[in-house]
Amino acid sequence: MIESIKHRRSICKYTSDPIEPEKLQSVLEAARLAPSGNNKQPWMFIVVQSEQQRRAVMEVSNHQTWMMSAPVFIVAVADMAARSEADLAIFLDENSRHWELKRAIRDTAIATENMLLEADAQGLGTCWVGFFVQSEIRPVLGIPNNKFVLGVIPIGYPAEQPPARPRKPLSEIVRYEKW
């Protein structure tokens, strides 16, 4: 597993080759199998393939034009309603303090990382794109205001092989027994 984790890179250039449907299914399956608090599975994924819809998503993602080389985007959405019995009709955005939202985001992040790793194992590249604001991306995809868009994941066959980006050493990020 550590070799797989080391192999993954964020990819910003893709070939025009289409993704085999079974590979895409496998990436989505990796998300489906992720762990979540109370096994609530508070996530939804939107597969975007049309040129028109990809362009609209790219434009609200701070015009990151490189995204268009990927044939598919998977949009990961945290659905806090899935964690709650009540119909929580509240407006959510980046400043929301709502605890259910945080839990849904946490769980959806786990599922999203599963997708990045499974895509890499399938020979596909991805890049988690988070440079957008909720109020702009939600209308493009028809997402209700009580969901939180966690990331757009362009996915396709890589047309670049970037070197590993640096990480902090363990000595900087691990402490033992207490803070």
Ligand X SMILES: Cc1cc2nc3c(=O)[nH]c(=O)nc-3n(C[C@H](O)[C@H](O)[C@H](O)COP(=O)(O)O)c2cc1C
Q: Any contact of residue 145 with ligand X (CB under 6 A)?
A: no
- Please give the C-alpha separations between residue 49 and each of 1, 29, 109, in angstroms, as whole numbers: 30, 18, 22
Q: Are strands 72-79 and 125-126 parallel, antiparallel or unpaired?
A: unpaired
Produce one character per residue of 66-104: b if its CB has 16 or more CB atoms within 10 Å, e if not.
ebebbbbbbbbbbbbbbbbeeeeeeebeeebebebbebb
Nearer to ligand X, 129 or 141 (CB): 129
Tell me which stretch binds ligand X (CB under 6 A): 16-24, 39-47, 100-108, 121-129: 121-129
Q: Any contact of residue 128 with ligand X (CB under 6 A)?
A: yes
Q: Any contact of residue 127 with ligand X (CB under 6 A)?
A: yes
Q: Any contact of residue 99 with ligand X (CB under 6 A)?
A: no
Q: Any contact of residue 130 with ligand X (CB under 6 A)?
A: yes
What is the footprint of ligand X within residues 37-66 (CB under 6 A)?
64
Tell me which stretch binds ligand X (CB under 6 A): 4-12, 28-36, 49-57, 81-89: 4-12
